[in-house]
Structures are given as structure tokens and as C-alpha cells.
């Protein structure tokens, strides 16, 4: 699949320089742990929204760390006339999809939704988790057709997805 219109040159320089994922490289958290920001719990090898076990270590979960640093692992670019004319509806769908994915995968969050004024004009949604960027793009594709492409950029450790209405 090709992604001819993706912006490769702005906003993501901090990510491009990165060879390894520092949010995973620190090793597994102690157990049990709780994120001091979002209260996600790390227990039995996975992050959950289950009640926090007593005497949990307080840490910052990888999703909150990415949000704090503005370091996405998924970037979804939405372009086309329909995006401009149905912005609220589209962002509502994106937010619903985030809620659905996040309920099961606590580390999957939207970091930011930004307008991209330069060509191609559109909306950029960055996510803490590559699958969430893809899931939102797929949901838009399913609901409104258009063209959906995505590609994993290994050197950037980043999923770049593009939905064109």
C-alpha cells in the first residue's frame, strides 16, 4: 500500500530520531502497579482498568508518558472535503472508537487532534498505540467509505495511517 500524501517532515521529528521504544525499554513495571495519572493498574503482566490492588506501586503508565511527551506511536491523517464538512461527526466517531478500544486496552489513547493547515489540509489524530490509529481509520472507512491506507514505519517505530474521504 502506498501513502503518497502523508506529511513526513513536520511535527514528528522527536519520534523519527528514536530507534527504540523508550516506553517499553524500561522493562516491565513492578507488580502490582497503578498509574498515578489515569489509575490504570498493572497486574499479572497486563494493564487493566480493574480495581487497583492494595499496596500498588505508583508509576506513570506508558500511555500517560507518551501523552506527557507528545510522543505518538500512531498517526492518522484525515483528508478530503467530507472531513471538512463533517468534522464534528468524524471526531465523534473517532472518540467513540477510542472509548471502545481503550475499554479493553488501557494503553490505547488519543494524544491529540489537530488541524493540519498546510497541504494536504486535514485533521491529524495522534495515538499512544498504533492499533488505535488503525482502528479509527478502519471505522471511518467502514462508516463513510473513502480510501484507507496504513503503513508501519519501522525506523520511526510509528504507524502512519491515512483516510481520505
Would you tell me how many other CB atoms lie within 10 Å of the CB of residue 144? 16
How many chain residues interact with Zn ion (CB under 5 A)? 5
Taking the CA atoms of the chain, what radius of gyration do you get in angstroms?
A: 17
Which residue of 64, 77, 110, 136 would you call a contact of Zn ion, by CB under 5 A?
A: 64
The mark string for 4-43 relative to Zn ion (x by CB under 5 A, - otherwise) is: -------------------------------x-xx-----
Nearer to Zn ion, 104 or 155 (CB): 104
Is 75 among the residues that bind Zn ion (CB under 5 A)?
no
The grid coordinates of residue 139 equal: 471505522
Residue 48 interacting with Zn ion (CB under 5 A): no
- Residue 46's CB is within 10 A of a number of other CB atoms, namely 11
- Choose, by CB under 5 A, the member of 6, 15, 41, 61 that binds Zn ion: 61
Per-position b or e across 2-21, b if 16+ CB within 10 A of its CB: eeeebbeeeebeebeebeee
Binding site for Zn ion (CB under 5 A): 35, 37-38, 61, 64
Amino acid at each position: 500500500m502506498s501513502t503518497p500524501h502523508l506529511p513526513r517532515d513536520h511535527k514528528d521529528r522527536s519520534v523519527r530520531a528514536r530507534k527504540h521504544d523508550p516506553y517499553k525499554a524500561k522493562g516491565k513495571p513492578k507488580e502490582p502497579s497503578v498509574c498515578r495519572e489515569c489509575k490504570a493498574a498493572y497486574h499479572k503482566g497486563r494493564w487493566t482498568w480493574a480495581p487497583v490492588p492494595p499496596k500498588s506501586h505508583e508509576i506513570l503508565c506508558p500511555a500517560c508518558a507518551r501523552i506527557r511527551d507528545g510522543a505518538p506511536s500512531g498517526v492518522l491523517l484525515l483528508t478530503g472535503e467530507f472531513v471538512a464538512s463533517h468534522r464534528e461527526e468524524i471526531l465523534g466517531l473517532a472518540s467513540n472508537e477510542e472509548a471502545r478500544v481503550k475499554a479493553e486496552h488501557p494503553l490505547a489513547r488519543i494524544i491529540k487532534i489537530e488541524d493540519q493547515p498546510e497541504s494536504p489540509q486535514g485533521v491529524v489524530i495522534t495515538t499512544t498505540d498504533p492499533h488505535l490509529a488503525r482502528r479509527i481509520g478502519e471505522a471511518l472507512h467502514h462508516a463513510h467509505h473513502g480510501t484507507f491506507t496504513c503503513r508501519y514505519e519501522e525506523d520511526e517505530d510509528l504507524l502512519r495511517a491515512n483516510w481520505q474521504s
